[in-house]
Structure 1
Amino acid sequence: MPIAAADKDAVLAEKRARFAAMLARADRVAAFTGAGLSTEAGIPDFRSPGGRWSRIKPIAFEAFLADEEARRESWRRRFDMDDEIRSARPTRGHMAIASWVQAGKCPAVITQNIDNLHQDSGIPADAVVEVHGNTTYATCLDCARRYEIEALRAPFLANGQAPRCDDCGGFIKTATISFGQPMPETAMRRATELARTCDLFVVVGSSLVVYPAADLPRLAHRQGARVVIVNREETPGDRYADLLLRGEIGDLLEEFVL
């Protein structure tokens, strides 16, 4: 028999109350965010059905290194999504999480997102652990010099050539982690430490299918932390979560601004 709307509302209200109590009791919260948080800001989810990667094969890191045309195509794709990135603004979910950091509850946010929206929400850059990198700037793969995307855009649109480093001639790539590229050791080490030492691990908008980052909530669970998953759909982590909140992330989190 279908659950009545009133009963659904009562169940959700009880879950919200449980989450509020968990958040109030927690001394050290680890927030872990994925694409579902940023889709509400207009950033496409590449991996979901109908997403870019279901229509366009991603460019592997090995191909980027080996082939000039792959590098040019990588930059064409980056600038094709430039308007989406530049126009996106932090959502209600971003602002709720930012308030946890600002209140001293959450030492840092671990994110799979590459859009810089956590920083734009007011979280200091050193409190955002980007396990998949950041697409709002680029670096030289050889000397690590940083380049701003806007400075690379006009030359690329004018000549169609993949940018090379002014200092060493190395390949310039957006500061994201491509398929086949090693995960950032420092970020993963810090994310692992946050998972090991938190008493509440809150997953927001992640499908928990991209490893090794997706194993972080399970690590927190094994260390004794409570795990809450806020997402529109089921995830592989649901089986060990202490609380599941289903629905639009902004609707669910806006009342949890501290």
Structure 2
Amino acid sequence: MAETKDEKFMSRRRSAALKAFKVKDERVATFKKVAAILQKSEIDRTAEETGILASCSDVVKEVNLRQEKRDRIKARLEEIEDAPEILEEKCIRLAAAISRATSLAVYTGAGISTAASIPDYRGTNGVWTRMQQGKDIGNHDLSQAEPTLTHMALYALYKARILKHVVSQNCDGLHLRSGIPRNFLSEVHGNMYVEVCRTCKPSREYWRLFDVTEKTARYQHGTGRLCHRCNSILQDSIVHFGERGNLPWPINWNGATRAAKQADVILCLGSSLKVLKKYPWLWQMDKPVQKRASLYIINLQWTPKDENAVLKINGKCDEVMRKIMSHLGLEIPLYNRTKDPIFFHAIKLQNDEQFTKTQPCLEEPAIKEPLSQSSDENVKCMVEEIDKKDCISSLAVTDITTTYPAPFFTALPFLSMGLPFPPMYMYPQLTPLFYYPFIQIPNMPVETPKPKPACSFCMEHEGSLTCLYYQRDGDCPEPINIKNEQKQEEGDSLVIRADTSIASPKNPGWFGKGYRKGMKRKR
């Protein structure tokens, strides 16, 4: 029985596929054989092996290229430290650049938190490195972590008005705990201590004393607790790989974009930059090369931005920042738990929420309650001092006239004569008010309502009447104008609203996709 056309076609197709597989298997076998020969020294190679290498020159070339690529990747993973004299010279150069900067933006990675016993990701002992090697990543209690010397150095630069913004890839919340206000901070991968209600508009935030990501994962962000206002399920603020972070806080993409656009110096600390390199708006890629910000990198490993950097420092962040701050003449403050804003602004769990977490809480400082009381007393003292300076007491007004007022009994004869009040010469200190109504006595005391601080913690430690971190009851701040602060009367006092809230970004994109689409439309 003759084969049909379809059977002939299928047999030819099957034989062609088998032939292709056979050729591929032979090439793979040749690659393995050539690679094994190349691993031997030239003295140990036989005449037959030398002939194989001569006949497969193209395979030898490709094997050598692959080996060079593997060696290059392996070398990039190595942690290299500069010699002490070279490190000192580089630190002087970086300190000079920071002192000249008008707008300094800092991008931080996991490398600045390793001193707090938090492992990094791509380091020689990082989480992903150990996972690729099949090793156990170990148990790490992040609740014991505290801001490191680098965190406090950045806080000192902020207090000196040198640092304008921090873009952090870390989720440990140590930047916020060091004292840097959230308006100056963009935690682009979220904060492990912050959970939010996306139903409330604007989104309501809850700052906790424990890790809220216990029950969350990629595309599963429910924490098991409910919003106190709308009873919706709370979610963590963490951004996993493949997800798009669009929360106004703590991600703050708008603040990061604005700071990157205005920066004239960008300092990268402890970051491999393999993620941040995907966001072109952080590197002023829309500007000519000559007009972009000067880039400085501090990292032990290679980064993809090393070629674009003015200076690359291979060193540990704490050691380098200590030298830089010394050259700048700035003192690095020590971390103080009583000044940690998380212990004042965190919202404690209600009685019915205690079972929703098993993670350990941060150990609160020994003195917490007197903190707010002392701050209120300080506010009262400051207000009283202002009153003494700006206002003149009633005794000062009476000093304008030196005549001693007559006693009350001297007015009795005039009252018996039917006069409604005694003559004004008996009370000369009141005469100007009655006889010269158009004359204004200088520096008369005027009772003006005094502003109440919205946050006594920020008033005491940061000298601000407004809350720089979070409202203590979890309320999101209402937007205000920084130049003309809106003041709303409540009874006899004035309350100044908290810091400005920035609208959510239109489309931050993922790895720069949204940015490239926008550029195509403009062209």
Instruction: Supply the distance in 2 between the matched residues of 1:206 and 1:151 (Cα, whole angstroms).
Output: 25
Check the 8 A contact 1:217/1:237 in 2, yes or no: no
**In 1, distance between residues paired with 2:233 and 2:241?**
17
Q: Of the candidates 113, 116, 124, which is equivalent to residue 41 of structure 1?
A: 116
Q: Partner letter of residue 97 of structure 1?
A: L
Amino acid at match of 1:183: G
Find the counterpart in structure 2 of residue 184 from structure 1: 246
Q: Secondary structure at the match of 2:266?
A: strand
In the alignment, structure 1 segments of 5+ residues that lack a partner are 1-6, 57-79
- Higher relative contact order, structure no. (Cα contacts within 8 Å, ≥ 6 residues apart): 1
Distance 1:185 1:34 in 2: 20
**Per-residue deviation at 1:142?**
3.5
Alignment correspondent of 1:174: 236
> For 1:205 and 1:216, how far apart are their aligned partners in 2?
20
Q: Which residue of 2 aligns with 1:196?
A: 261
- Secondary structure at 2:226's aligned position in 1? coil
Identify, as 1 or 2, the structure richer in strand. Answer: 1
Match of 2:102 in 1: 27
Percentage of identical aligned residues: 33
Distance 1:213-1:255 versus aligned 2 partners, 3 A rule: farther
1:252 is aligned to 320
Instruction: Between 22-31 and 171-180, report the one with greater CA deviation.
Output: 171-180
- Name the structure 1 match of 2:89: 14
3-state SS of paired residue (1:163):
strand
Q: Which runs of 5+ in 2 are unaligned?
A: 1-81, 132-138, 216-221, 331-523
**So what's the TM-score if we normalise by structure 1?**
0.74
Question: Residue in 2 aligned with 1:88?
Answer: 145
The residue that corresponds to 1:165 in the other structure is 226
- Do 2:105 and 2:165's aligned partners in 1 also have CA atoms closer than 8 Å? yes
Distance 1:31 1:165, change over 3 A: same
Which structure: larger Rg? 2
2:295 aligned partner: 227
Q: Which amino acid aligns with 1:207?
A: S
Distance of 1:90 and 1:255 partners within structure 2: 18
Instruction: Please report the TM-score for the alignment, with normalisation by the length of structure 2.
Output: 0.38
Residues 214 and 203 of structure 1: is their aligned pair in 2 closer, same or farther, counting only changes over 3 Å? farther
Q: Secondary structure at the match of 2:164?
A: coil
- How far residue 114 of structure 1 moved from its aligned partner, in angstroms, is 1.4
| 1:128 CA displacement | 1.4
Deviation at residue 55 of structure 1 after TM alignment? 7.1
**What do the CA deviations read for 1:20-41 (whole angstroms, capped 9, x no partner)?**
1101111111111111111221
Provide the aligned length of Structure 1 versus Structure 2: 223
Residues 215 and 41 of structure 1: CA distance in aligned 2, closer, same or farther (over 3 Å): farther
Contact 1:115–1:134 (CA under 8 A) maintained in structure 2: yes
Asked whether the 8 Å contact 2:193–2:211 carries over to 1, the reply is: no
Query: What displacement does 1:105 show?
Result: 0.8
CA positional deviation for 1:130: 1.4
Q: How far apart are 1:180 and its partner, in Å?
A: 3.0
* Partner-residue secondary structure (3-state), 1:110: strand
Q: Is 2:179 the counterpart of 1:122? A: yes
Aligned CA distance change for structure 1 residues 37 and 152 (closer, same or farther; 3 Å): closer
Distance 1:108 1:46, change over 3 A: same
2:188 to 127, 131, 143: 131
Question: Which whole-Å CA distance do the structure 2 matches of 1:163 and 1:16 have between them?
Answer: 48
CA displacement, residues 100-149 of structure 1 (integer Å, 9 cap, x when unaligned) = 11110112211111111112222123221211111112123444443444
* SS of equivalent residue, structure 2 residue 224: coil
- Structure 1: how far apart are the matches of 2:186 and 2:86? 33
SS of the equivalent of 1:172 reads: strand
